[in-house]
Amino acid sequence: MSTRTPWWIRIPLLFFIIFGLMEYFIDSGEKPAIIEYPITQFFLLMVLLILIAIELILSSIENVMFQTLSEEAKERYLASKAKKREWTWVKSIYKRLTKTKEIEKEGEIILDHNYDGIRELDNVLPPWWVYLFYATIIFAVVYLIRFHVAGDYDQKLEYEQEVAAAKIAIEEYKKTAKDLVDVNTVEFLSEAADLSAGEKIFTTNCVACHMADGGGGIGPNLTDEYWILGGGIKNVFNTISEGGRDGKGMIAWKQSLKPVEMAQVASYILTLGGTTPADPKAPEGEIWVDPDAPESEETIEETPTEQVSDSTDVAMN
């Protein structure tokens, strides 16, 4: 009936095993399940109470059975319970790693030196220290051959490889972390869910000045090709984030909207281009042409025609 592990170890050990299994099997996203689902706190409290109750029941059973033993059996049981458990294998490993002498045998390794009553023991170096020293020698030889003889790679190359890998990891992370978007990394969001979210944000915050169809009121017309502060996803995102012209432009929305929300509403605004509002406001600003857009076929075809015309004029002159 004697147990090898005391109750004050068994209860916490079992409790944390159950807690770990609960966190592993319950999908709670980024937050721990014990925080995301408060009911799990009640569950763990019940588990703890049950474990304590089991220990009390086992202790009571042990006490009842102990009373049924004879006096001689009681003495043997108490003696076995009071006997301290010795970790013989731990002591054996420790002795092999240190090769220390017992205090009783220190007379075998004591030296003749005597410094005011202080005697010196001729202990050997601990084997663990010797083995570690040999390991450093082997490591140094391998390192020397690999990097200074064979020229495997140097710190500069290693740094460049790690930076390149980190950049790839950052780009992959940004694809799923839309809230990290800024004016330099924002891109047009073409998914229906993003455009629908942008439309809701526009309806809530923008229709008072730009009208529901984007035709413009206090604010400019968003359906034509004229832009006051530039068109395109980056310029529109920046205008929403930082606000319009000083003193008479739109307020900055970066304190009210998240980066992903500004990207969504900016994308939705761009979809209004080319539509026909009910009461369009007169154009404001200048026609904006995307500098990164590829040249159209018409522009390419017009260039040689103009050159031919010019050469003809020269010939006629």
Instruction: Domain ranges for the chain, please list them.
Output: 7-82, 192-287
Residue 53: the pLDDT is: 95
By CB neighbour count within 10 A (0-12 exposed, 13-18 middle, 19+ buried), where does 262 fall? buried
Q: How many CB atoms lie within 10 A of CB 86?
A: 8
| Structure tokens, 201 | 């944000």
| Mean pLDDT to the nearest integer, 280-289 | 89
Residue 297: the pLDDT is: 52
| Bridging pattern class, strands 118-121 and 226-227 | unpaired
Q: What is the pLDDT of residues 78-109, one digit of tens each?
A: 887 777 666 677 778 887 888 777 777 777 88
**Tokens 């202080």 belong to residue:** 118
Residues facing residue 114 across a β-bridge: 119
CA distance 32 to 292: 46
| Mean pLDDT to the nearest integer, 174-200 | 85
Residue 56: the pLDDT is: 93
Q: What is the pLDDT of residues 122-161, one digit of tens each?
A: 888 888 899 999 999 999 999 999 888 888 878 888 899 9
Residue 3: the pLDDT is: 56
Read off the pTM.
0.45
Does 305 score more than 70 pLDDT? no
Residue 293: the pLDDT is: 66
Reported as type and span, the H/E element at residue 115 is: strand 110-115
Please state which CATH class domain 192-287 belongs to. mainly alpha
Q: What is the pLDDT of residues 41-69, one digit of tens each?
A: 999 999 999 999 999 999 899 889 989 98
Residue 123: the pLDDT is: 81
Residue 84: the pLDDT is: 63
pLDDT band, very low/low/confident/very high, at 307 (cuts 50, 70, 90): very low
Does 184 score more than 50 pLDDT? yes
Please provide the DSSP assignment of 169-221 as one string: HHHHHHHH-GGG--TTT-----SHHHHHHHHHHHHHHTHHHH-TTS--SSSPP
| Mean pLDDT to the nearest integer, 196-210 | 93
Residue 122: the pLDDT is: 80
Residue 86: the pLDDT is: 64
